[in-house]
Amino acid sequence: MRIGWNHPSDDEAKHHSQTNQSISLSLMLIIPFVLQIFAAVGLVGYLSFRNGQRTINELANQLMEQASDRVDQHLDAYLTIPEQINQMNADAVELGLLDLQDSEATGHYFWKQMQIFPNVSYISYALPTGVYGGAGRFLEGRGVTIDELSPRTNWKTYTYATDSKGNRTEIVAIYDNYDPLNETSYLDPIKAGRPVWSEPYNWDETAEYISISASYPLYNNNKDLLGVIGVDLLLSNIDDFLKTLQVSPSSSIFIIERNGLLVSSSGYEKPFQIRNNVAERVKAQESSDPLIRSATQHLLNQFGDFQQIQTEQSLKFAFQQENYFLQVTPWNQKNDLTWLVVMVVPESDFMAEIHQNTRNTVLLCLGALAIATVLGIYTSRAVAQPILRLGKASQAIANGDLDQRVEEPSVRELNLLASSFNQMAGQIQSSFLMLEQMNAELEDRVETRTKDLEQALHQLNRTQLQMLQSEKMSALGQMVAGVAHEINNPVNFIHGNLIYAQQYADELLRLIRLYHQHFPNPPVEIQAERDAIDIEFLEQDFIKILNSMNIGTTRIQEIVRSLRNFSRVDESERKAVDIHEGIDSTLLILQHRLKAKPTHPDIEVIKFYEPLPQVECYPGQLNQVFMNILANAIDALEERDTCRTYEDISTHPSQITIRTSVMGKSVRIAIADNGRGMPEQVRQKVFNPFFTTKPVGTGTGMGLSISYQIITEKHQGTLECFSTPGKGTEFVIQIPIKKGVWQS
C-alpha cells in the first residue's frame, strides 16, 4: 500500500544528503576486484598492441625491400636483353657474319632472333642511305613480320608475313612517307656516340604498343657510320611482372620517370590515355587510380621534385581514412633510364592480426571484469544482503509504501532488528489504511462532480452558439424583410407608371409621324431641330429604353420576392411552402458568388427539379440549411479553382447540381458539387459541433451542425453526406411532406 507524505524536515533532508554522499558496502567489496583485474589485463593488452605494431612496421619494410629487390632484378635482367642483342648484332657485323646491305638476309636473321627472345617486341636497323629493315610482333594474328624500306621497295615500307621458317610469304601492309633517319632512335645514339636508351614512346600512335628502345651506333675502323641497330621492348611486359608481385593482398606497385610520367603499374591503370584517337602518356599525379595519384602527390609534398630522390625512402601517408606504407627506390640503367619504383601497402593488411589480438584482449578484459564483478556481488550479498534488505524496506516506508516485510535472518542481532521492523510496519499500515479509504471516496466524488460540470459547460457553450446563430439569422431576416419592403413600394410605383409612359410615348410618336406625313416641308427651324435630334433614331431608341426599364423593374420585383421569401427565418410555425422557391431564393442571394471572376468563369448551377407538392416545414430554417450547404459547396469549388487555370476551368467547369424528387411521403433534395471531395475521416466529423477544415477566423464549425439539428430534430428528417476524394461531395436532405408522416 502506498500513501502520500508531507515534505521531509531539515533533519531528514540532511540525513538523506549524508547518505547519498557515502559509499555502499557492496561497492567497497566489488570495486577493488574489478580495478585490479582491469588494470592488469589492460596493461598487458597495451604492451602487446605496441609490440605487435612495431613488429608489423619492421615486417612491412622487410617485405617491401624484398619486393623492391625483385623489381630491380627483373628490370636489370629484362632491360639487359636488348643490350645483349645489340652487342651480338654489332659483333656479327664486325666479323662479317651479318651484311646489313643484304636486306633479305638481315630480315631473316632478325626473324630468328625474335624466336629466341620472345620478350622482345622489335629488332631493327637503319643505314645512312635510308635503307631500313626489321622484324617484330605488332600485327595481331600475324606472328613475327619482316619490314623493309629500300630501293627495291620503291622507298616504301613493306611489311611481309612469314612462314614457320622465316621466309617471306606475302605483303600484308605498305606504309608511305616513313623516314627512319629522322627518328630519335637513329639520331640520339649518333649524337651520343654510344648505345643509348630512348624514353617510352607510342609505336605509330598505336595505344597497345608503348615501348622503349635500345639503340646502338655502328662504325667501321675509320670511324665512319655504318648504321644504327635497335631493339624495342613493350612496357606491358613490365606490367605483367608487377602483377605477379604481391607484398600484401591490397598492395600496389608502380614505376615512374623523374619527370613524373607513369611507366608501369601492377593495377589496371595504363601508362597512357586516348585523346582524339591518339595515345598520350599519363603523369602519375593525374592517374585515374586514386591510390597512385595520392601516393605521387605525397612524394611531391615531401621532396618537392622527383630529382631530389636519390636513395631509398620509406614513408607513411593517409589515404581515404587509412594509413599506408610507402617505399620509393631509385633505379638507373647507365644513366639513360632513371626510374623510381614505388610500392604502396595498406597498414590494414598487416594490422589484421594485431586487431584480432586487441579484440581478444578486450574480450579477456571483459571476461575478467565479469568474473570479478560476479565474485564481488556474491561476497557482498553474503555479507551485506540482510542489512541492504532492511535499508530498502525502511526507505520504501519513508516513500509511502507501507506494505513492507523483511525476511528474518539467522543472525541473532539482525533477527531481532528485522522482527521489530516488521511489527512497526504493520502498525503504521493499519493506522493509514482508513485514511487512504476516506481519501479515495472523496476523490471519486470530486471526479464525478467535475465530469458533470464539464458536460454541462460543453452543452451550454453549444446551445449558446446555436442561439447566437439563430439570432443572427433572425436579425438578418428582419433586416432583409425591411429592405425588401422599402424597395418594393417605389419599384411598384415605377413599374406601374412605365405602362402609362409607354402609352403616352406611343401617342406622341404617332402624332409626330402624322404631322410629318401631312406637312412634309416644315419651316427651316423645325427641320433643323428635327435633323439635330435625329427623330428616326429617337423613335427606335426611346421604345428600347422603355422596354429595358420595364425588364429592370420586373427583375427587381423578383429579387424582392426572393428576399422576402428567404427572410422567413423567424417564423415559428410550420407552413406549407414550395421547396423550389426556397432553393431559388437562396441561389439568388448567392448569385454574386456564382458569377464569373477575373480568375475563373461562372459556377454552373444545374437543376433537376421534379414536380413537388407543398411541404409543411419551417421555411426560414430550411432556407438556412440550403444557405449553409450551398455556401460550403461554393467554398469547395473556389478552393479547387485556385489550383487551376482559366482555360482548364472553362474546359471542365465547376458545377453545383441540385436534384429534387418525391419518395413516398417525403421529399428528397440532393445538392452536389464537383470539388475536391473529402477523405473519410473528415466526412465522419462534418456534423460535429465546432468541427471545421477552414482556416482560423473564417468559420465557426457550427453551420452543418445546426443544419443537421434543424433537419433531424425540427423536421424529423435525415441529412446525409457522401464524398469521394477527387470527385466531389453530395448532401442529401429527406423530410416528410406533412408533419408526423415519414416514409423512407
Name the grid cell of 144: 613475327
User: Residue 670: what pLDDT?
Assistant: 96
Please tell me the predicted confidence (pLDDT) of residue 416. 76
Full residue range of the structural domain in which residue 700 is found: 574-736
Residues 686 and 706 in one domain: yes
E strand or H helix that includes residue 225: strand 225-234
User: How confident is residue 411, by pLDDT bands cut at 50, 70 and 90?
Assistant: low
- Quick: pLDDT tens for 355-406: 676 677 777 777 777 777 777 676 666 666 777 777 777 777 777 776 767 7
Whether residue 226 is found in the same domain as residue 261: no
Structural domain contains residue 305? yes
Q: What is the dihedral of CA 622, 628, 633, 637, to 10 degrees?
A: 150
Segment 467-482 mean pLDDT: 57
Cell numbers standing for residue 17: 544528503
SS (H, E, C) 272-329: EEEECCEEEECEHHHCCCHHHHHHHHHHHHHHCCHHHCCCCEEEEEEECCEEEEEEEE
Mean pLDDT lowest among 182-186, 333-337, 396-400: 333-337
Exposed/middle/buried for residue 707 (C-beta within 10 Å: 0-12, 13-18, 19+): buried
One-character DSSP codes across 510-529? HHHHHHHHH-SS--HHHHHH
Report the pLDDT averaged over residues 468-476.
56
Tell me if 228 sits within 8 A of 125, measured CB to CB. Answer: yes
Number of domains in the chain: 4
- On the question of pLDDT at 454 being above 70, the answer is yes
Q: Does residue 78 contact residue 235 with C-beta atoms inside 8 Å?
A: no
pLDDT at 339 over 70: yes
pLDDT tens, 217-269?
999 988 899 999 999 988 877 777 777 777 677 778 888 888 888 888 887 76
Q: Facing residues of 346 across strands?
A: 324
How far is the C-alpha of 7 from the C-alpha of 81, rounded, in Å? 100
pLDDT at 375: 72
At 166 the three-state DSSP class reads: coil
Residue 395: what are its φ and ψ, rounded to 5°? -65, -40
> What mean pLDDT do residues 473-501 have?
64
3-state secondary structure of 122: strand
Q: Which residue has the higher pLDDT, 164 or 282?
A: 164
Q: pLDDT value at position 160?
A: 94
464 & 539 share domain: yes
Pair (566, 633) in one structural domain: no
The Cα 586–Cα 580 span in angstroms is 10
Is residue 657 within 8 A of residue 608, CB to CB? The reply is yes
Q: Mean pLDDT, the chain, as a whole number?
A: 79
Report pLDDT digits (tens) over 572-590: 578 899 999 989 988 888 8
CB atoms near residue 347 (< 10 Å): 18
Domain boundary among 208, 234, 260: 234
Asked whether residue 111 carries a pLDDT value surpassing 50, the answer given is: yes
Inside any domain, residue 11: no
Q: Identify whether 104 is part of a domain.
A: yes
pLDDT, tens digit, 9 for 90 and up, residues 579-621? 999 899 888 888 888 888 888 889 999 999 999 999 999 888 8
User: Amino acid identity of 170?
Assistant: E
**DSSP character at residue 123:** E
**Can you give the pLDDT at residue 308?**
86
Tell me which amino acid residue 282 is.
V
pLDDT of residue 569: 45
CB-based contact 120:213 (threshold 8 Å): no
Q: Are 583 and 612 in contact (CB under 8 A)?
A: no
Q: What CATH number is attached to the domain comprising 653? A: 3.30.565.10
Mean pLDDT of 114-132: 92
Is 517 in the same domain as 388?
A: no
Assess whether pLDDT exceeds 80 at residue 641.
yes
Q: Given 521, 540, 570, which residue is the final one in a domain?
A: 570
The grid coordinates listed for 168 are 617471306
| CB burial string 459-474: b at 16+ within 10 A, e below | eeebeebbeebbeebe
Contact 660, 612 (CB under 8 A): yes
One domain for residues 548 and 589:
no
The reply to whether 744 falls in a domain is no
- Which three cell numbers, joined as nine digits, stand for 689? 459541433
Which residues, at least 6 apart from 334, have a Cβ–Cβ distance to it below 8 Å? Answer: 197
3-class DSSP state of 690: coil
469 in any annotated domain: yes
Average pLDDT on 405-414 reads 69
Q: Grid coordinates 448567392 are at which residue?
A: 590
Rounded distance, CA 408 to CA 421, Å?
10
At 660-707, the pLDDT tens digits run: 999 999 999 999 999 999 999 988 888 887 777 776 555 566 778 888
pLDDT value at residue 8: 47
Tell me what the mean pLDDT of segment 104-115 comes to.
Answer: 93
Residue showing cell 458545377: 655
pLDDT of residue 170: 92
Q: Report pLDDT for 156.
A: 93
412 and 553 part of one domain: yes
Q: How far apart are alpha carbons 697 and 280 in whole angstroms?
A: 74
Q: Which of 399, 426, 459 is the last residue of a domain?
A: 399
AA identity, residue 118: P
C-alpha separations of 741 from 665, 666, 667, 744 in Å: 7, 8, 11, 10
Shared-domain flag, residues 124 and 41? no
Least trusted range by pLDDT, from 74-78, 362-366, 527-531, 738-742: 738-742
Whether residue 37 is contained in a domain is answered as yes
560 close to 502: Cβ distance less than 8 angstroms = no
Q: In this structure, are residues 213 and 185 in contact, taking their beta carbons and an 8 Å threshold?
A: yes
- Lowest mean pLDDT of 207-216, 380-389, 425-434, 716-725, name the range: 380-389
Kindly state whether residues 38 and 150 are assigned to the same domain. Answer: no
What is the predicted pLDDT for the residue at 343?
A: 86
CA dist 176 and 185 (Å) reads: 19
What pLDDT was estimated at residue 404? 67
pLDDT value of position 7: 47
Three-state secondary structure of 581-599: HHHHHHHHHCHHHHCCECC
Same domain, 707 and 584: yes
Q: Do 218 and 150 share a domain, yes or no?
A: yes
Above pLDDT 90, what percent of the chain?
A: 23
Lowest mean pLDDT among 122-126, 411-415, 608-612: 411-415
**DSSP string covering 66-117, please?**
HHHHHHHHHHHHHHHHHHHHHHHHHHHHHTTS--TT-HHHHHHHHHHHHHH-
CA triplet 321, 325, 330: central angle to 5 degrees? Answer: 135
Instruction: Kindly report the length of the chain.
Output: 744
Going by pLDDT thresholds of 50, 70 and 90, the confidence category of residue 656 is very high
* ∠ CA 322-328-334, rounded to 5°: 160
Determine the Cα–Cα distance for residues 224 and 361; give it in Å rounded to an integer.
Answer: 78
Q: What is the per-residue pLDDT for 239?
A: 79
Query: Is residue 214 domain-shared with residue 298, that is, in the same domain?
Result: no
Which one-letter amino acid corresponds to residue 456? A
- For the segment 467-480, the average pLDDT, to the nearest whole number, is 57
Quick one: pLDDT at residue 14?
A: 52
- 431 part of a folded domain: yes
Task: Indicate if the alpha-carbon torsion angle 57, 63, 66, 72 is positive or negative.
Answer: negative
3-class secondary structure for 461-492? HHHHHHHHHHHHHHHHHHHHHHHHHHHHHHHH
Q: Looking at the domain assignment, is residue 117 inside a domain?
A: yes
Q: Tens digits of per-residue pLDDT, 496-555?
A: 777 777 777 787 878 887 887 888 788 888 878 777 777 777 777 777 777 777 766 666
Question: Based on the number of CB atoms within 10 Å of its own CB, is 189 exposed (0-12), middle (13-18) or buried (19 or more)?
Answer: buried
pLDDT, position 489: 64
Tell me which residue of 131, 135, 124 sits closest to 150, measured CA to CA.
131
